[in-house]
Amino acid sequence: MSRNGRTARRPPEPGSPTTRTGRRPEQGDGIAPGLVRVRLRRFLSFRLIVSLGVTFVVVSAGATLAFDRLQQPVYGAQADVIFQPSGELSDFRAQRDVGTQPMILRSLAVMGPVSQSTGIPVDKLEKALTVDLPSQSDIVRITVADPDRATAERVAKAVTTQYLSRFVTSDLTPVSPAAVELKEEVKSLSGTVSGILDRLGRLSRERPPGQPPGIEEQALQAASTVTLRRLGNLQNELAALESKRFVQPDVSLLVPPHPLEGRLKPRAVQSLAVGVLVGLFTAAGVAGAALWPRRRDLLRAGGDGS
């Protein structure tokens, strides 16, 4: 304490900040954190920022164009088929029948004839074929991809035709030849039985009471028994066939095979994404190379502000 009541200052120690700068450090001395950002902006000059922007735009455009040109274009053809299960089936059975359609389309029963008609191997057809089942619908969407647009449409037509033919030529369809033949035979036998019964009725009325049936009447009785048994068997077969036909799904062509607009691959979004990524990495590399000689000053600025 001095005589006037103030605290006396101690002499500065050798090597202290006072001896280097001539004054003691005050509160707030040093580089503020905001000053580091100012110095960083000084390092990122306007010329460097413009160069990075131009580099990003040019490289991104070039990479997008190069990726688009180097990739082999793939075109597509598409068809929509309605597969509507019978209303007699349960919901589980109906969903299962719809879910098995992609496997049927990819099976050898469909791919084999298509391969023979188009000359394309089965394994290549399986890779080119895509079967989608849009949710909440009975639509089976068939898509074929190929570098040639005409080939894609031709294969899509062959696949759709072969798939639909499985239902059109089935013996369980409404146009079943077996059902038509059974109906014709039942009609013919019904007429025969009607004629036999009419003849038996007349012979029975003409025969005197108490007289046994004659040879013709006995023969007609035997023939009627055989014919009625045959007619009953045919009617049972026809009923069984009709019951199977009744639960057969309704399959029809909704949208015929047609070429899709544009390309399936590569998409414009994919090419643009690749170009943007290449442009970002290139711009980052240019920025790092430009700032590398000044890294010491930048690190020093960060260290002073800490």
Homologous superfamily of domain range 75-170+249-265: EIF_2_alpha (3.30.70.1130)
State the burial class of residue 74 (Cβ atoms within 10 Å of its Cβ: 0-12, 13-18, 19+).
Answer: middle
Q: Which residue, among 175, 174, 127, has the nearest Cα to 155 in the 3D structure?
A: 127
Contact 114, 158 (CB under 8 A): yes
Q: Give the separation between CA 163 and CA 109, rounded to whole angstroms.
A: 9
The count of other CB atoms within 10 Å of the CB of residue 104 is: 15
Q: How many CA atoms lie within 13 A of 44 on its CB side?
A: 13
Q: What is the pLDDT of residue 29?
A: 45
Q: What is the pLDDT of residue 117?
A: 92
Q: Give the separation between CA 68 and CA 61, rounded to whole angstroms.
A: 11
Q: What string of pLDDT tens digits covers the 306 residues of the chain?
A: 445 555 555 555 555 544 444 444 444 444 445 544 555 555 556 677 777 777 778 777 777 777 666 667 889 999 999 988 766 666 777 778 888 889 989 998 899 999 999 999 999 999 999 999 988 788 999 999 998 999 999 999 999 999 998 876 444 444 466 777 878 888 888 888 888 888 888 888 888 887 888 888 888 888 888 888 888 888 888 777 665 554 567 788 999 999 998 877 766 666 677 767 887 778 777 777 766 666 655 555 555 544
Contact 139, 80 (CB under 8 A): yes
Q: What order of strands is seen across the sheet that includes strand 139-146?
A: 129-132, 139-146, 75-84, 250-259
Element (H, E) at 144: strand 139-146
The count of other CB atoms within 10 Å of the CB of residue 144 is: 28
Q: What is the pLDDT of residue 263?
A: 79
Residues in contact with 280: Cβ distance below 8 Å, sequence separation at least 6, in sequence order: 56, 60
Q: What is the pLDDT of residue 30?
A: 47
Contact 132, 143 (CB under 8 A): yes
Q: What is the pLDDT of residue 293?
A: 66
**Residue with structure tokens 């943007």?**
276
Q: Give the separation between CA 143 and CA 129, rounded to whole angstroms.
A: 6
Contact 304, 31 (CB under 8 A): yes
Q: Give the separation between CA 102 and CA 122, rounded to whole angstroms.
A: 15
Q: Does pTM top 0.75 for this prediction? A: no
Q: What is the pLDDT of residue 19?
A: 46
**Backbone phi, psi, residue 79, to 5°:** -145, 150
